[in-house]
Chains A and B, each alone.
Chain A
Amino acid sequence: MKQFLTVLKFELNNYFKNKSFILTTVLLMVLAAGIIAVPGIIMSNDISFGSGGEKENETETVALYDADGSIEDPDSFAAAMGMNIKWMECTDKSMLEDAVNDGKAEAGFIVEDLLHYTYVVENRSMTDTLEAAFSQAAASVYRAQILEEQGLNAAEIETLYQTQPEYETQILGKDSAGNYAYTYILIMILYFLLIFYGQMIATSVTSEKSNRAIEILVTSVDSNSLIFGKVFAGAIAGLIQCVLILGSAVGAYQIFRESWGGLLDSVLQIPVPVWVTFATFGMMGYLLYAFCFGMLGALVSKTEDISKAAMPVTMIYLISFFIAIYGMNDSDGILMRVASFVPFTSNNGMLIRVAMGSVETWEIIISGLILAVSCVAAGILAAKIFRFGTLMYGNPVKFSTALKKIREK
Chain B
Amino acid sequence: MKLEVKDLRKSFGDKEVLHGISFSIESGKALGLLGRNGAGKTTTIRILMDVFRANSGTVTVDGRPFHPKEFRIGYLPEERGLYPKKGVLEQLIYLASLRGCSRTAARKQAVHWLKRLGVEEYAQRKLETLSKGNQQKVQLAQTLVCNPDLVILDEPFSGLDPVNSQILKDVIKEQIESGKLVIFSSHQMGYVEEFCEEIVLINHGDIVLSGNLDQIKREFGHNRLVIGLGPECQEPEQLLRENMSDLIDVTGRRKDQVIVKMKEGCTRERLLAALLERKLIPEEFGNYEPSLTEIFVERAGDQA
Residues of A in contact with B (beta carbons under 8 Å apart)? 3, 6-7, 10, 13-14, 208, 211-222, 390-391, 409
Interface contact A216-B51, CB-CB below 8 Å = no
Question: Once bound together, how far apart are the Cα atoms of A228 and B254, in whole Å?
Answer: 60
B203 → chain A, closest Cβ, in Å? 23
Interface contact A216-B77, CB-CB below 8 Å = yes
Kindly report which residue of chain A lies nearest to residue B87, judged by CB atoms. A17
Q: A211-B81, A213-B81, A213-B83 are in contact. Are A219 and B94 (CB under 8 A)?
A: no
Interface contact B82-A219, CB-CB below 8 Å = no
B257 at the interface (CB under 8 A from A): no
Interface contact A216-B53, CB-CB below 8 Å = no
In chain B, positions 68-119 with a C-beta closer than 8 Å to chain A are: 68-69, 73, 75, 77, 79-84, 86, 90, 94-95, 97-99
Interface contact B68-A219, CB-CB below 8 Å = yes
Kindly report which residue of chain B lies nearest to residue A225, judged by CB atoms. B98
Q: A219-B51, A390-B51 are in contact. Are A213 and B82 (CB under 8 A)?
A: yes
Interface contact B53-A409, CB-CB below 8 Å = yes
Interface contact B49-A10, CB-CB below 8 Å = no
Question: Once bound together, how far apart are the Cα atoms of A162 and B6, in whole Å?
Answer: 98
Interface contact B50-A6, CB-CB below 8 Å = no
A-B contacts, 30 listed (Cβ < 8 Å): A3-B98, A6-B94, A6-B97, A10-B94, A13-B90, A14-B86, A208-B83, A211-B81, A211-B84, A212-B77, A212-B80, A212-B81, A213-B81, A213-B83, A214-B81, A215-B51, A215-B79, A216-B81, A216-B95, A218-B51, A219-B51, A219-B68, A219-B73, A219-B75, A219-B77, A221-B98, A391-B46, A391-B51, A391-B79, A409-B53
Question: Once bound together, how far apart are the Cα atoms of A208 and B84, in whole Å?
Answer: 10
B44 at the interface (CB under 8 A from A): no
Q: A215-B51, A390-B51 are in contact. Are A220 and B98 (CB under 8 A)?
A: yes
Question: Once bound together, how far apart are the Cα atoms of A390 and B142, in whole Å?
Answer: 19
B59 → chain A, closest Cβ, in Å? 14
Question: Once bound together, how far apart are the Cα atoms of A212 and B75, in whole Å?
Answer: 14
Chain B residues with CB under 8 A of A213: 81-83
Interface contact A220-B80, CB-CB below 8 Å = no
Chain A residues with CB under 8 A of B68: 219
Chain A residues with CB under 8 A of B80: 212
Question: Once bound together, how far apart are the Cα atoms of A217 and B94, in whole Å?
Answer: 10
In chain B, positions 142-186 with a C-beta closer than 8 Å to chain A are: 142
Chain B: residues with Cβ within 8 Å of the partner, total of 25
Chain A residues with CB under 8 A of B46: 391
Select one of B49, B53, B98 contacting A7, CB under 8 A: B98
B9 → chain A, closest Cβ, in Å? 16
Chain A residues with CB under 8 A of B49: 219
A123 → chain B, closest Cβ, in Å? 56
Chain B residues with CB under 8 A of A6: 94, 97-98
Q: A222-B69, A390-B51, A409-B53 are in contact. Are A215 and B77 (CB under 8 A)?
A: yes
Interface contact B51-A211, CB-CB below 8 Å = no
Q: A222-B69, A390-B51 are in contact. Are A215 and B95 (CB under 8 A)?
A: no
B7 → chain A, closest Cβ, in Å? 20
B53 → chain A, closest Cβ, in Å? 7
Chain A residues with CB under 8 A of B98: 3, 6-7, 217, 220-221
Question: Once bound together, how far apart are the Cα atoms of A390 and B49, in whole Å?
Answer: 13
A212 → chain B, closest Cβ, in Å? 2
A161 → chain B, closest Cβ, in Å? 71
Select one of B69, B82, B86 contacting A216, CB under 8 A: B82
Interface contact A215-B50, CB-CB below 8 Å = no
Question: Once bound together, how far apart are the Cα atoms of A7 and B99, in whole Å?
Answer: 12
Chain B residues with CB under 8 A of A215: 51, 77, 79, 81
Kindly report which residue of chain B lies nearest to residue A209, judged by CB atoms. B81
A124 → chain B, closest Cβ, in Å? 56
Chain A residues with CB under 8 A of B81: 211-216
Chain A residues with CB under 8 A of B53: 409
Question: Once bound together, how far apart are the Cα atoms of A215 and B42, in whole Å?
Answer: 12
Chain A residues with CB under 8 A of B77: 212, 215-216, 219
Chain A residues with CB under 8 A of B95: 216, 220
B106 → chain A, closest Cβ, in Å? 10
Question: Once bound together, how far apart are the Cα atoms of A215 and B51, in whole Å?
Answer: 8
Chain B residues with CB under 8 A of A214: 81
